Amino acid sequence: MNVLIKSATIVDNNSSEHLKSRDILIEEGVIKAIGETIQDKNAQVIDLPNLHVSKGWFDSSVSFGEPGYEERETLQNGLDVCQNSGFTSVIVNPNTNPVTDHAALIEFIKNSTTSHLVDAYPMGALTEKSNGQHIAELFDMKKKGAVAFGDYKSCISDTNLFKIALQYSKTVDTLIQVFANDKSMSSDTQMHEGTTSTNLGLKAQPRLAEVIQLQRDLEVLKYTGGKLHFAYISTAESVEIIKEAKKQGLNVSCSVALPNLMFTDAMLAEFDSKYKVMPPLREPSDIEALRTGLRDGTIDMVTTDHNPLNIELKKTEFENAEFGTIGLESAFGMLQTVFNLEDTIAILTRGKNRFGIDDFSIKVGEKAQLSLFNPDVNWDQSEGDIRSKSKNSIYLNETHKGKAYGIINNNRVYVSN
């Protein structure tokens, strides 16, 4: 199939056509020509208002529910949400029922998603049932397609077990993902420890819960070697610790969840459970440090941490409400309220190589893995804008800047109506 993209502004700082308006001809899924004017009578033409195009967007942490929680989100509908939101590649978390902790479930996810435009890469659980007691079948899961291993939003309290996990990960040459959150200081907490939590009288989680766990994990990494990724760091202290670890030459990376870049703990003053997320929303100084860390490269990537939940898990008393929000459909529009267009696209397109996933630039001869978008349209998110089966969005009623048109990937095209 031939596809001709007309008059699109290319946003790819690795391309010689960066920020130029160009036609792009794609043949059998490969970029064949880029020029000011290209004609092909046999091609499917994509000609949209203020069309911009970049490398395919990537999210390193999404939850879809299936198997086990299909009422929250199925794999098929979740990937449909991805393509509508401009994402060509996502890593699927193991927080399913049962937990994705063995090869058969990795194979199920791969087989269930292989025909979709969006590339879904499963993450295997690091420990059996993600309970932190026994190492899961890492080697077998990697053979079936797992790109990394981690227990979703759960840290391994047993330091020796964590040491063994890192040592074993080296033998299978894989990345370990961890969540820095000391359980002994965060159990039953409802939000960030600060002035707001004191005023509300809620049990709160101190920054120390993240910092002390992060420091322990880095000390083990120094001892064992290996590759470690910290998902969802949320404090200014963590940014500085990661920066120092990288200076020391440790093989470490990290991500930040989108809500922690956008909102402070003050949003919880009215006990609105849509703002109840994990890590908890922190303070303005933390947000500024996280944004600076993204700009200078200390923080490697942003994740939406898309986590669909049943309505009854969020629309309940605040202390009983679950942590979590969806976010795929808001990523581009919210990031652009904070960062300029070039920085936003750089953020959305980096991180694949860390997980061993192929990356492609907008150059002749490269695979056409592209995100299509209009960066200048402003819109307020309502429930009608949400294609996810669950509607638990922290971004409802927030003004977004920019919206995705769709994607091109795997020799197929999706453009939203």
- Catalytic residues, by residue number, are 305
Rounded Cα distance, 110 and 114, in Å: 6
Rounded Cα distance, 201 and 208, in Å: 19
Q: Give the three-state DSSP class for 281.
A: coil
Tokens standing for 146? 């797992």
Tokens standing for 49? 């208002």
Residue 251, number of CB atoms within 10 A of its CB: 13
The H-or-E segment that residue 175 falls in is: strand 175-178
Quick one: the chain helix, strand, coil %, rounded to 5? 35, 25, 40
Tokens standing for 210? 């993240």
Q: Which residue, 245, 257, 258, 188, is CA-closest to 211?
A: 245
Residues shown for the chain? 417
The H-or-E segment that residue 257 falls in is: strand 252-257
Q: Tokens 């330091």 correspond to what residue?
A: 159
Residue 301, number of CB atoms within 10 A of its CB: 23
Tokens standing for 220? 């083990």
Tokens standing for 218? 């880095």
Give me Rg for the CA atoms of the chain.
21
